[in-house]
Every structure is written in C-alpha cells, then in structure tokens.
Amino acid sequence: RTLRVAAGFDVADNEIVRQCEAGDLVITADIPLAAEAIEKGAAALNPRGERYTPATIRERLTMRDFMDTLRASGIQTGGPDSLSQRDRQAFAAELEKWWLEVQRSRG
C-alpha cells in the first residue's frame, strides 16, 4: 500500500506515528520517530539491525541531541558509515527475531 503525504518538515513522520499501533514494526534510522513509535507500543528497528527499546531510546535521543548541538555550533561530526554486509545480516536476524516473537504471541 502506498500513502502520499503533503510536503513539509516531519509530515511523513507524523503520519507514520498517527497510523502506528501496538504490535507494528517501524524500520527507521530517525531516532525521534522511533521514540514516538515505541511510545505507541510499536517495535522500532534501524537499518543496521539495532532494535530500539524503551530502555535504550532515551539514551539514543540524548546522544542525537548532543550531536545536533555540536553540529549547530559548527563542529564537524561526520555521518554514519555505509551499510555493510554485517549490518544487513544483523538487520535480517533482528527482523526474523521480531517476526518470530509476533508469531509466538499470536499462538
């Protein structure tokens, strides 16, 4: 299914959060989006295979905000490394793990 949203800052993210429900999976590298999805009871997984949890998302938000402050002050922080084969394998493993958890919970 395809969904189009109006152009604008965080418009797509806001629509994802609006439609998100407990039990859904949101795949994103956007930490604030992951945090909002988790608050609604969804699982959140990044493209490198790291599953965000209520226990880890606050730390990730804090680090993101800190790095944003550094960038705003003119400090070059660089970006993430390119996705590696190891990242892809970690993602596939975590996705399968989530899927199996969903299947078990449905009985």
pLDDT at 87: 97
Question: Which residue matches tokens 């999805």?
Answer: 37
Taking the model in full, what pTM does it have?
0.84
pLDDT at 26: 97
What is the rounded CA–CA span in Å between residue 27 and residue 92? 12
Question: Which residue matches tokens 């596939």?
Answer: 92
Rounded to the nearest integer, the mean pLDDT of the chain is 92
- For 100, the token pair is 């199996």
Domain boundaries along the sequence of the chain: 11-105
Helices 54-72, 31-39: axis angle to 10 degrees equals 150
What does the pLDDT average to over 30-52? 96
Look at residue 77 and tell me whether its pLDDT is greater than 90: no
pLDDT at 78: 76
Q: What is the pLDDT of residues 15-35, one digit of tens each?
A: 999 999 999 999 999 999 999
Least confident of 20-29, 41-50, 56-65, 71-80: 71-80
